[in-house]
Structure formats: C-alpha cells, structure tokens
Amino acid sequence: MRAFQIHDLETPPTLRDVPRPTAAAGEVVVKVAACGLNFGDLLMMTGRYQERPPLPATLGMEISGTVAEVGNGVHHLRVGQRVIGFGGHGGLADYCALAADRCAPLDDTMDDITAAAFQVAYGTSHLALTKRARLAKGETLLVTGAAGGVGLTAVELGAKLGATVIAAARGAQKLEICKAAGAHHVIDTDTDDLTARVKALGGADVIYETIGGDIFTSAFKACNRGGRIVVIGFAGGTVPPVAANHLLVKNIDLIGFYWGGYLPINPGALYESLGDLMRWHAAGNLAPHVSHVLPIEQAADGFELLRARKSTGKIVITL
C-alpha cells in the first residue's frame, strides 16, 4: 500500500510502498478515505512533537474511512462500517491500524472530507473552551491564529457559546473568513497593534492562544484581571517566556491544553465532547471549513501550505 512516511529526521517525508497492516487484538484496520493535516504533523517531521513514534513512521493523525478488518475482542465495530479515527499517526496511508477505542461510527450526515477535518480542530476548541477555560456567556474571547485549523473552530464555537469573539489573524482574506465563522471583531496581526486593539474593546476574559512568541506576549498584556489564557500551541515557532508576576497581580489563570492528552487522563470527557459536536453537526449547527483537498500524491504540497500559513481552516488529503 501507499504511505506518506518519515524515514529519518534529516530528509523530507516521501510516499512509499509498504506492507498493509493487520489488526491485532483490540484493533481495527481502516481503509482510509481521507486524512486531515495538523500542525503537529509538521513538528513530528523534525522530532519536536510531544509524541515521537519510532521511525520509519507514517504521518497523519486523524482519518475517516471504512473498517476493513476487525481484531479479536472488538465488538462495537464491524467490517464495512464507516468510522472516524484518531491514531496520532499512521493516517496518511491506504490502510491504517489503530485501537478500536480510538474510532467512532460515522453516519451519513457527515461526508469523508468533513469527517477527516473534524476531530482535532473541533475537539480541541470545544474541550479547551468549555472544560479548561470555563468560557461563560457574555465574556470576551480572543482567538489568535484565528483562521487556522483549531483557531477557526474556536471562533465558531465561542460565538455559539455566547461570547463576544475577537479574531486575530493575518490579512484581509483570513479576517473575512473569521467574520463568516462568527467573529464580532477582527484584528490584522500584520498591521494592527494587538494589545491596543483588544484593550480598546474592553480586554479579553479568555485568550485562546495558538501562535506563541510576540503574539502571546501582546495578547497576555490585553488579558483582563481574573482572565484565563489557554495555551494551544506555538505555530509561530517560538515558546514565549511568561511574566509570572503579572499572573499573580492580575489573578490570571495560565492553562495548557493538548486534546490528545485527554485520552489517558479523561477519555470520557473527550468522547462526550466529540459526541456533542457530531450531534451539533448533524443538526446543521456547525460549518466546518476546508480550504484545500489534495490527493496523497500531493501530501508534501499540503504540508507546505500548512507551513507557509497559506491555508485556512483545514487541509485534507484523499486516498
């Protein structure tokens, strides 16, 4: 089968011919229809992601597809059933073996492209805002990197949860996409003073921070007393220093959040969140945004779009 793999950390990943996996006990093999790209994949290529599979490794964290094989002890899934799955890696291939409890049935209200783009982006924003940040109706939410995969879902969900949403992104085109997702105010981080603009809007009660570096520092300065800052990632490439004395004086909560990390510590919360989100989508209450759909032969192009921040929402690779 085809698989888009990292062979070593010094050379770019390539499309290779590899053996098709088989299902061990507790696993299923999924015939992959589509795979969503994530910023974590880029970090994995260079060994900088928090999870480091042994090399050679197939990239691709989240998939949609059809169950092709069921291992011993798996009773809730059957061959031929449509599913979504999160394996952390292995998804950019014709077939993917993953733990059966990392899969969920997929009904006909969600197509394969949408499903492959759904789990990480919506799951991250929903749990981060509801469980970790405790976002309340009427509060002001600032989202940085707001046109990206997780950022855009944070804008959409924040607005649906009753917050006033400030979306910060680069360029007029991305800001228009943020407005369409529900942002009440937009800030162009290429030209605007982020701190001054947010303060002029009354400051932020919750900050959903995806970029790091100077953007984190500017957003931090605009956080209201008693506010919460949720650290989602460092898409800008720099982990920022934190002025802990300012946390103390302003009673600010600094909260880390990693969606995949909820699987070992609180899987029930993750699955409950995902179930809620899928029901919202089935009811027509969510509008996933996929800017690029590419075949697996162009997976490298998809990652370059992600690296250069030339995409909005999600990029999906089809098999």
pLDDT at 48: 76
Q: Are residues 125 and 256 in the same domain?
A: yes
Instruction: Yes or no: say if 197 and 218 are a contact pair by the CB < 8 Å rule.
Output: no
Q: How confident is the model at residue 99 (pLDDT cuts 50, 70, 90)?
A: very high
- Residue 169 belongs to domain with CATH number: 3.40.50.720
Q: Is the pLDDT of residue 51 over 90?
A: no
Q: Are residues 76 and 184 in the same domain?
A: no
Q: How confident is the model at residue 268 (pLDDT cuts 50, 70, 90)?
A: confident
What's the domain count of the chain? 2
Q: Are residues 253 and 129 in the same domain?
A: yes
pLDDT at 247: 93
Q: Are residues 98 and 128 in the same domain?
A: no
- Rounded to two decimals, what is the model's pTM? 0.93
Q: Is the pLDDT of residue 114 over 90?
A: yes
What sign has the CA pseudo-torsion 80, 81, 83, 85? negative
Q: Are residues 111 and 151 in the same domain?
A: no
63: tokens are: 């998939």
Q: Is the pLDDT of residue 278 over 80?
A: yes
Residue in 85, 143, 91 with CA at minimum distance from that of residue 118: 85
Average pLDDT over residues 14-18: 96
pLDDT digit string, tens, across residues 124-152:
999 999 999 999 999 999 999 999 999 99
Q: Is the pLDDT of residue 265 over 90?
A: no
pLDDT at 235: 87
Specify if 274 maps to a domain: no
Last residue of a domain, one of 212, 242, 260: 260
Dihedral angle over CA of 192, 190, 204, 206, nearest 10? 180
- Residue 18 belongs to domain with CATH number: 3.90.180.10
Q: Are residues 166 and 255 in the same domain?
A: yes
Q: Are residues 143 and 227 in the same domain?
A: yes
Instruction: State how far the Cα of 30 lies from the Cα of 23, in Å rounded to an integer.
Output: 9
pLDDT at 47: 80
Q: Is the pLDDT of residue 6 over 90?
A: yes
Q: Are residues 134 and 13 in the same domain?
A: no
Q: Are residues 140 and 162 in the same domain?
A: yes
Specify if 36 maps to a domain: yes
Domain containing 182: what range?
A: 121-260
Residue in 199, 163, 196, 205 with CA at minimum distance from that of residue 181: 163
Q: Are residues 13 and 79 in the same domain?
A: yes
Q: Is the pLDDT of residue 21 over 80?
A: yes
Q: Is 75 left (phi over 0), alpha (psi -120 to 50) or beta?
A: alpha
Q: How confident is the model at residue 53 (pLDDT cuts 50, 70, 90)?
A: confident
Q: Are residues 40 and 90 in the same domain?
A: yes
Specify if 72 maps to a domain: yes
